């Protein structure tokens, strides 16, 4: 299995890291009605939940981009490097979201998005 395909698995798990951060500690987490509980939260918990939602949104484009690049037989080293860049960007995105660094967060998002674009067209 390639590094890029392992990165797809990591990217699929990243939203769950963010949601764990949102729900850990603090006020009692209500598993019977988690959405209402999250609506009442503030600060980093809200930002962690937002990072979770965005991570779910980013995942399909990344996964498809890796699959397309591999189907079109792009250089595997390039695919792996771009996939690792995407994962690093998404981890940076999450860290920036939690720290409330909106400018840096937008830059990390852009880097991840560009990695997907370059992955998608790398086999052309």
**pLDDT at residue 26 greater than cutoff 70:** no
Can you give the pTM of this predicted structure?
0.93
Q: Inform me whether the pLDDT recorded for 10 exceeds 70.
A: yes
Average the pLDDT over 74-92 and give the result.
98
Give the pLDDT confidence score for residue 64 in this predicted structure.
98
DSSP 74: -
Contact 47, 98 (CB under 8 A): yes
Among the listed residues 32, 16, 29, 33, the one whose alpha carbon sits nearest the alpha carbon of residue 90: 16
Helix spans in 1-124 (H): 3-23, 34-39, 44-71, 76-99, 102-121
The domain spans of the chain are 3-121
Q: Does domain 3-121 fall into CATH 1.10.3470.10?
A: no
Given a cut of 90, whether residue 22 has pLDDT beyond it is: no
Can you tell me the mean pLDDT for 14-35?
Answer: 83
């Amino acid at each position: 299995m390639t590094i890029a395909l392992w990165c797809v698995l990591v990217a699929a798990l990243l939203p769950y890291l963010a949601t764990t951060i949102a729900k850990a500690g603090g006020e009692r987490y209500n598993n019977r009605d988690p959405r209402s509980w999250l609506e009442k939260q503030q600060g980093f918990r809200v930002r962690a939940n937002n990072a979770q939602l965005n991570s779910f949104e980013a995942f399909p484009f990344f996964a498809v981009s890796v699959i397309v690049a591999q189907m079109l037989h792009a250089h595997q080293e390039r695919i792996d490097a771009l996939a690792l860049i995407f994962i690093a960007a998404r981890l940076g995105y999450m860290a920036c979201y939690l720290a409330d660094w909106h400018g840096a967060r937008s830059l990390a998002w852009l880097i991840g998005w560009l990695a997907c674009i370059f992955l998608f067209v790398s086999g052309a």
